[in-house]
Structures are given as C-alpha cells and as structure tokens.
C-alpha cells in the first residue's frame, strides 16, 4: 500500500509539473499537491470530451487518470495552438468548477455550441483568440454571469449577434479587435449594461447604425480605431453619456456632421488622428462645449487646410490640441477663440510660412507651442504677445534663422528651440 501511495504521489507531482510546462496551469503553478491521495477518487479525463483529450495528451507519459480533487481545483486553463479543437460541445468544461481563467488561442475553433461554458461558476476571464470563428450563436456564453472580461480578438467574426452576450450580466470589458466586422446594428450591445471598456479596433466597420450603443450607459472607453468609417453623424454615439475616451483614429473620416458629439457630456479624450478631415467648421465640436472634463483633442495627420472662426468655441477646459501633420498654412482671426485653458499646441509638419500677431489670440494659458518642420520665414510684430505664460517654442527645421524676443512679444522666461534668439 505504501509503495502504491508513493507511486501516486510521484505521479501527482509529475502531472502538476507537466501541466505547468505545457501551458495548462493549476493555480499559479507553485501550489504543492499534498492532499491525501489514498482517499482521492480518480477520473479518466479521456471521457471528458475534447478538453479532457487535451489533458490526456499531457498525461500519456504516466497515465490518463487524475484525482477528482485536482480536476475540480484547476483555476487557470491555457490551451496552446498545438492543440486543435475545431468544435466545443455543450458543457465542454464540465466538472472544472474552480476555473477562473480560460485562454483558448489558435486552436482552429470553427464552432462553439450553445452552453459550451455551462457549469463554470467561478469563471471571470475568458479569451478566445486567433480562431477561424465567423459567428457566435445566442447562448454560447450561457451561465457565465460572473465573467467580467471577454477577449475575442483576431478571429473572423463578421457580425455581432445581440443574443450572444445576453447572459453576460457582469461583463465590464469586451475586446472584439482584429475581427472582420463591417457594420454595427441597433442594440448590438444592449444587454451589457455594466460594460466599461469596448474595443472594436482593427475591424472593417464602415457604418454604425443609430442606437448601436444603446444600453451602454456606463461605458468609459470606446476604441473604433483602424476601421473604415468615412463620416461621423448624430445618432452614431447615442447612449454613451458616461464615455470619457473615444478613439476613432486611422479611419477614412472626411466629414463630421454637426451634433455628432451632443450626448458625450463626460468626454475627456477624443482622438481623430490619421483620417481625411479637411476643415474644422464652427459647429464641428458642438456638444463638447458643455463638458468641463474635455482635456485632449488629437487631429494629427489629417488633411486640414482651414479652421473656421469659432471652431473651438466653448472648449474652455481643453489642455492639449494636436494639429500636427496637416496642410495648414494660414489662420484667420479667432481660429483659436474659446481655448481659455489650452496649455500645449502642436502645429508641427504643416505649411505655415508666417506667424502673425493674431494667430495665438485668446490663448492666454498657452505654455508650449510646437512649430517644427513648417516653412516659417517671418514672425510678425508681437506674434506671441497674447501668450504671456508661454514657456517653450519649438521652431526646428524652419527657414527662419533668428528671432527677436522683444519684437515677437515673447515673455522673458520663454525658451526657444531651433534658432538663434536675439534681444
């Protein structure tokens, strides 16, 4: 009996090391298996469906049996690409009642049947990535009412089925980046009332129907970057009253219709870089002038040639404005009116040739302005006089060689980089 017990103990320790090394993890891969094996019932994992077969594959050097206690106490399960599954049947993880995290990566999954994850009361994180999945039926995540993070990245999902997420009552983070989504439809995420973060980056989204985000009253961050949106219009962002960060960079956006941002009362950061925007109208950012949280606006690397007077009117709380990498060559008086709190202005890599005295009018709080890689050859009288708190001016790689501090209106403590400064 003693020899048999020693044999089982050795097997248990070997099993634990094997799972850790193979990416099928028990806890943190350091907890000793010290329970009394002579009282532990064993099960044949080969009888536990495709997931059991993966476990059995790791046990073939010893045996395909495992104590029921070890099986039920698994807390982290990672199945690497060398294990191909293709299909997950209902209750594929039956008996693994202690599982807290599941990672399924590159396993050739083409179908997940409804109820596949049923019987996992402790699960709070689920990753299904790099699979040839084109659709997820309703009921796939049935029973996962404690999951707070769902990662569905780099699959081939073509469409969001509202019924798919219906049972995920506590979900806070949903990552759908790197799929093949082309359109968002009304009520796609309506059941996810506790969602905080939604990542839709690197899809092929061309259109967002009105009320696509209805029900996401608590969403804080939305990433729509690297898609194929050509415009933004009222209704697209309806229901996102608590949104603090919106990333719509690297799309094909050429037009932003008036009223697009009307409901974004808590927005802090808006990223519209790397699009095709050509002008900023006086009504472009209507709605954002009603929030005191808005601090950062990124419009880098567009095709902006013209800024209407009052385009930024009412954006009193904005601290950082990025307009670098555009086609700006001139500004009209009042182009920056309303930016009472602006601290940093990025204007590098444009086509600005002259700096006139009214360009920075109204920017009383400006601390830093970047004018690198323009065509600046002359600086008008008192060009910087309106910015009494200016601390840093960068003029690297411009034709101008020197600048008179007195003539330009620069404050005594402002540092100028990229050229010679004279009294």
Question: Is pLDDT at 33 greater than 80 in this prediction?
Answer: no
pLDDT score, position 43? 54
- What pLDDT shows up at residue 126? 98
For residue 196, the model assigns a pLDDT of: 98
Residue 388 is predicted with a pLDDT of 80
**Top mean-pLDDT range of 16-20, 92-96, 184-188, 388-392:** 184-188
d(CA 63, CA 123): 28
Q: What angle do CA 138, 179, 259 make, to 5 degrees?
A: 90
Mean pLDDT calculated for residue range 127-131: 97
pLDDT in tens, 97-125: 899 999 999 999 999 999 999 999 999 99
pLDDT band of residue 320 (cuts 50, 70, 90) is: very high
Residue 386 is predicted with a pLDDT of 78
> What confidence tier does 69 reach under pLDDT thresholds 50, 70, 90?
confident
Distance spanning both ends of the chain, measured CA to CA: 96
d(CA 328, CA 370) in angstroms, rounded, equals 14
- The pLDDT mean for the chain works out to 85
Give the confidence band of 413 by pLDDT, cuts at 50, 70, 90: low
Q: Helix 2-22 vs helix 49-59: angle between axes, to the nearest 10 degrees?
A: 110
Token pair recorded at residue 377: 């050859």
Strand ranges for 6-147 from DSSP E: 42-44, 65-67, 76-79, 87-88, 101-105, 111-112, 125-129
Nearest to 343 by CA among 376, 310, 316: 316
**pTM (predicted TM-score):** 0.87
Tell me the mean pLDDT in the region 373-378: 94
Domains annotated on the chain, with CATH: 277-423 (3.80.10.10)
* Interval 253-260 mean pLDDT: 96
Question: In the structure, what pLDDT confidence band is assigned to residue 268 with cuts at 50, 70 and 90?
Answer: very high
- Above 70 in pLDDT, residue 303? yes
Mean per-residue pLDDT for 296-317? 95
Listed range (15-24, 25-34, 96-105, 307-316) with the worst mean pLDDT: 25-34
38-47, 121-130, 155-164, 375-384: least confidently modelled range: 38-47
> CA dist 403 to 44, 346, 399, Å?
82, 20, 12
Q: What is the pLDDT of residue 36?
A: 32
326 pLDDT more than 60: yes
Percent with pLDDT over 70 in the chain: 83
* Residue 295 and residue 316 in contact, taking contact as beta carbons nearer than 8 Å: no
CA-based nearest residue to 384, from 375, 397, 395, 374: 395
**pLDDT of residue 15 exceeding 80:** no
User: Whole-angstrom Cα distance, residue 128 to residue 109?
Assistant: 9
Q: Output DSSP code: residue 325.
A: S
- Does the structure show a pLDDT above 80 at 380? yes
């Amino acid at each position: 009996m003693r020899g048999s017990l020693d044999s089982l103990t050795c097997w248990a320790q070997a099993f634990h090391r094997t799972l850790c090394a193979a990416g099928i993890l028990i806890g943190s891969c350091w907890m000793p298996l010290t329970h009394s094996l002579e009282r532990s019932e064993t099960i044949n994992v080969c009888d536990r469906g495709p997931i059991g077969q993966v476990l059995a594959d790791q046990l073939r050097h010893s045996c395909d049996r495992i104590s029921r206690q070890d099986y039920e106490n698994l807390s982290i399960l990672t199945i690497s690409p060398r294990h191909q599954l293709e299909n997950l049947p209902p209750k594929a993880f039956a008996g693994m009642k202690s599982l807290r995290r599941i990672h399924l990566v590159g396993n050739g999954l083409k179908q997940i049947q409804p109820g596949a994850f049923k019987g996992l009361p402790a699960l709070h994180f689920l990753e299904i990535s790099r699979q040839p999945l084109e659709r997820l039926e309703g009921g796939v995540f049935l029973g996962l009412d404690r999951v707070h993070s769902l990662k569905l990245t780099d699959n081939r999902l073509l469409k969001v089925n509202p019924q798919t997420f219906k049972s995920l009552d506590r979900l806070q983070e949903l990552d759908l980046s790197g799929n093949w989504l082309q359109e968002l439809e009304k009520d796609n995420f309506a059941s996810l009332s506790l969602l905080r973060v939604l990542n839709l980056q690197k899809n092929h989204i061309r259109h967002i129907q009105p009320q696509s985000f209805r029900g996401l009253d608590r969403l804080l961050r939305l990433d729509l970057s690297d898609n194929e949106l050509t415009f933004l219009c009222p209704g697209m962002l309806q229901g996102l009253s608590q949104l603090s960060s919106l990333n719509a960079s690297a799309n094909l956006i050429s037009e932003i219709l008036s009223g697009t941002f009307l409901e974004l009362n808590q927005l802090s950061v808006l990223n519209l870089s790397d699009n095709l925007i050509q002008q900023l109208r006086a009504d472009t950012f209507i709605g954002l002038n009603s929030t005191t949280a808005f601090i950062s606006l990124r419009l880098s690397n567009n095709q902006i040639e013209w800024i209407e007077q009052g385009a930024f009117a009412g954006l009193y709380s904005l601290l950082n404005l990025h307009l670098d990498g555009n086609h700006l060559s001139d500004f009209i008086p009042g182009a920056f009116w309303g930016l009472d709190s602006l601290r940093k202005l990025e204007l590098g890599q444009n086509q600005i040739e002259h700096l006139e005295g009214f360009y920075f009018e109204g920017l009383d709080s400006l601390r830093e302005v970047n004018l690198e890689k323009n065509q600046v050859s002359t600086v008008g009288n008192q060009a910087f006089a309106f910015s009494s708190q200016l601390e840093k001016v960068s003029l690297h790689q411009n034709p101008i060689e020197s600048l008179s501090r007195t003539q330009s209106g620069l404050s005594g403590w402002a540092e100028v980089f990229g050229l010679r400064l004279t009294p």
